[in-house]
Structure 1
Amino acid sequence: MPTVALLGTGLLGEAIGLRLLAQGVKLHVWNRSAEKCEALLAAGAEPIDHLAGAARSCDTVITVLRDGPVSADVVAALGDLGGACCLPMGTMGISESRELATQVQAQNGCYLEAPVLGSKPEALKGSLLVMAGGDTDVFEAQLPLLQLLSGDPKLMGEVGRGAACKLALNQLIASLTHGYSLALRLVEASGLEVERFMEVLRPSALYAPTVDKKLERMLGHHYADPNFSTALLRKDLQLFLREAPLLGIDASGLNGLLTLLKRAEHTALDDGDYSALHELTSKR
C-alpha cells in the first residue's frame, strides 16, 4: 500500500482519510486547524507537524482544500516533493490547476488533478466519482489508489479537463437546485399539492434524482448537517463565472443566481446544506 499525505481534513477530506485508513493505506495528515485531524489520528493516521519536507517520505500528496490559491500555497510550503505525485481533489479553476501543475513540476513532483463528485457518504463507501486530468502514465500509476475511493476513476484528458468537468457539474448543481426551488415555489403558491406535481415530474425527462434528495429539506426548511454548503456552492459558481469568459463562453445568465446566493452571506444559510438556496427564492 502507498504512503499518502492528506492535506485538508474538512468534511470531505476527513471522509477520504477514513476510507484510505480502512483500506490499509499509511496516512499522514495535516490541517490548518489541527483539531480537525483528531478523528483521523484516532483511526491510526500520523500527524504532519511541519509541512516543509513532509512529502519526501510519501508516494502521493492528496489535497482537499478550499480553492486553487490555498492549494498552491500549501503545496508550496512542502518544498521539494521528492518525486511524489500531487493529487488535488478539491474544486479549482482550469487555469488554476494548470498553474499548480507547473508549480508541482518545479518542486520535483508529478501532477494529476482528481476532483470528485460526491461527499462524505460516497467517500466512506469508496463510491466517489473521480474525474482526473493529466498524463496517462501518471493516471495509471495512481489508479490503484484512486480505485480505493472510486469504483471507476475516469481520465478526462490533459490537465485542466478534469477541473472543467467538475466546474460544469457544480454549475449544474446550482442551476438545477435553483430551477427546482422556483418550480416548488410556484406549485405551492398556486395551491397545487407538491406530491401531485412530483407524480408528473418523476416519470418525465425533466426529472433528476437530486430533487427527491433535497425535497424533504426544502419543504421542511431543514439544512443542518450539510455534505456541501451554500457557501461552497456560491464559491464554485463564482469560479465558473470567472473561468467561462476565458473560454469564450457567455455565462452572464448565471449572474442573477450568484446575486441570489450572495444574500446567504453572513447568515445561518451559508453554513447549511446548499438546498438552503430554496429560502432565497421566497419574497418573504
Structure 2
Amino acid sequence: MTTFSLLGTGLLGAAIGHRLLERGFTLNVWNRNSRRCGSLVEAGAQQVKHPTESLDRASVVLTVLRDGPVTAEVVKSLGPLDGRTVVPMGTMGISESVALADQVQMQGGAYLEAPVLGSRPEALQGDLLVMAGGEQSVFDAQLSWLSTLASQPRLMGPVGTGAAAKLALNQLIASLTHGYSLALRLVEASGLEIERFMEVLRPSALYAPTVDKKLKRMLSHQYGDPNFSTSLLRKDLRLFLREAQLAGVNASALQGLATLLESAEGTDLDSGDYCALHELTAGR
C-alpha cells in the first residue's frame, strides 16, 4: 500500500485523508495549524512537525493547500524529492501549476496536478471529480489511489489542463450563483412567489441543480458551516481573471462580479458558504 505525505489538512484535505485511511493507506500528515490534524491522528495517521519529516517511507506527496504560492513554498521546503510524485489537489493558476511542475522536476520528483470538484462530503464518499494534468505514465502510476477518491479520475492533458478545467468550473460556480441570485431578487421584488418561478425554471434548459442545492440557504440567509467559502470563491475568480488575461481571453464582464465579491472581504459573509454572495445583490 502507498504511504502518503499529506500536506494541508483543512476541510478538503482532512476529508481526503480520512477516505485514504479508510481504504487502508498510510498517511504522514502536516498542517501549519497542528490542531487541524487531530481527527486524522485519531483515525490512524502519523502527525509530523515539519513537512520534510512527512517524507518518511512516503512515495506520494499530496498537497491540499490554500493556493499556488503557498504550495510552491511548502514543496520547496521539502528539499530533494528522490523520485517521489507531488500531487497538488488544491486550486491554483495554470501558470502557477506549470511553474510548480518545473520546480518539482528540479527537486528530483515527478508531478501530477489533480484538482478536484467537490468538497468534504464528496471526498468522504469517494465521489470527487478529479481533473489531472501531467504525463500519462505518471497518471497511470497514481490511478489506483485516485480511484478511491473518484469513480472516474480523468487525465485532461499535459500540466496546466487540469488547473484550467478547475478554474473554468469555479468561474461557472461564481457566475451561476450570481445569475441565480439576481433572478431571485427580481422575482421576489415583483411579488412573484419564488417557488412558482422555480416550477418554470426546473424543467427548462436554464436549470442547474446548484440553484436548488443553495436555494434554502439563500432564502433563509443562513450561510454557516460551509464546504466552500465566499473568500475562496473570490480567490478563485481572481485567479481565473488573471489566467484569462494571460491567455488573451476577454473576461472583462466578470470584473463587476469580482468587485461585488470584494465587498464581502472583512465581513462575516467571507467565512460563510459562497452563496452568501446573494446578500451582496440586495438593493441598497
Aligned CA-pair RMSD: 0.8
What per-residue deviation string (whole Å, max 9, x for no partner) do you get for residues 186-222 of structure 1? 0000000000000000000000000000000000001
Counterpart of 1:176? 176
Alpha-carbon distance between aligned partners in 2 of 1:17 and 1:36, rounded to the nearest angstrom: 12
Contact 2:6 2:54 in 1 (8 A): no
Tell me if structure 2 keeps the 8 A contact 1:55–1:82.
Answer: no
SS at match of 1:133: strand
For the 8 Å contact 2:29–2:54, the answer to whether it is kept is no
Give the match's secondary structure for 1:178: helix
The residue number in structure 2 matching 1:31 is 31
The Cα shift of 1:40 comes to: 0.4
Alpha-carbon offset, residue 81 of structure 1? 1.1
Task: Provide the residue aligned with 1:230 in structure 2.
Answer: 230
Checking the alignment, whether the CA contact within 8 Å between 2:226 and 2:273 is kept in structure 1 is yes
Once residues 115 and 149 of structure 2 are traced to their aligned partners in structure 1, the CA distance between those partners, rounded to angstroms, is 12
Provide the aligned length of Structure 1 versus Structure 2: 284
CA distance in 2, matches of 1:251, 1:231: 20
Match of 1:135 in 2: 135
Output the CA distance in 2 between the equivalents of 1:180 and 1:197: 11
Following the alignment from structure 1 to structure 2, what is the Cα–Cα distance between the partners of residues 47 and 107?
24
Establish whether residue 276 from structure 1 lines up as the match of residue 276 from structure 2: yes
Judge which range, 76-85 or 208-217, deviates more.
Answer: 76-85
What is the rounded CA distance, in whole Å, between the counterparts of 2:178 and 2:256 in structure 1?
11
User: Residue by residue, what CA displacement relative to the aligned partner does 1:36-58 show, whole Å, maximum 9, x if unpaired?
Assistant: 00010111000122223532521
Structure 1: distance between partners of 2:169 and 2:230: 15
Q: 1:9 — aligned with what?
A: 9
Paired position in structure 1 for 2:104: 104
Tell me the TM-score normalized by structure 1: 0.99
Secondary structure of the residue that 2:52 maps to in structure 1? Answer: coil
For 1:176 and 1:50, the matched residues in 2 are separated by 40
Runs of 4+ in structure 1 over 3 Å off: none
Separation in 2 of the partners of 1:2 and 1:88?
17
The residue number in structure 2 matching 1:240 is 240
Cα distance in 2 for partners of 1:50, 1:60 equals: 16
Distance across 2 between alignment mates of 1:203 and 1:42: 46
Q: Distance in 1 between matches of 2:191 and 2:5?
A: 54
Q: Is the 8 A contact 2:12 2:64 kept in 1?
A: yes
Distance in 1 of aligned mates of 2:175 and 2:272: 18
2:93 is matched with 93
Cα deviation for residue 127 of structure 1 reads 0.5
* Aligned partner of residue 242 in structure 1, secondary structure: helix
Query: What does 1:242-257 correspond to in 2, within 5 Å?
Result: 242-257=242-257
Distance 2:157 2:208 in 1: 27
The separation in 2 between residues aligned to 1:283 and 1:203, in whole angstroms, is 29
SS in 2 for 1:148: helix
TM-score in terms of structure 2 length: 0.99
2:119: which partner in 1? 119
| Distance in 2 separating the partners of 1:127 and 1:262 | 31
SS in 2 for 1:147: helix
**d(CA) in 1 for partners of 2:26, 2:56:** 14
Contact 1:56 1:81 in 2 (8 A): no
Distance in 2 (CA, whole Å) between partners of 1:22 and 1:91 is 25
Letter matched to residue 92 of structure 1: M
Provide the C-alpha distance between the structure 2 equivalents of 1:130 and 1:56, rounded to a whole number of angstroms: 26
Q: Flag structure 2 segments of 5+ consecutive residues without an equivalent.
A: none
Aligned to 1:206: 206
Separation of aligned partners in 2, 1:56 and 1:245: 41
Distance in 2 of aligned mates of 1:53 and 1:193? 58
Distance 1:71 1:87 in 2: 10
Give SS of 2:203's match: coil
2:68 matched residue in structure 1 = 68
Q: Which runs of 5 or more residues in structure 1 are unaligned?
A: none
State the identity %: 69
What SS class does the counterpart of residue 166 from structure 2 fall into? helix
- Secondary structure at the counterpart of residue 131 of structure 2: strand
| Aligned-partner Cα distance in 2 for 1:142–1:213 | 32
Residues 30 and 47, structure 1, Cα contact 8 Å, conserved in 2: yes
Q: Does the residue aligned with 2:189 lie in a helix, a strand or coil?
A: helix
CA contact (8 A) 2:7 2:51 kept: no
Which SS does the other structure have where 2:148 is aligned?
Answer: coil
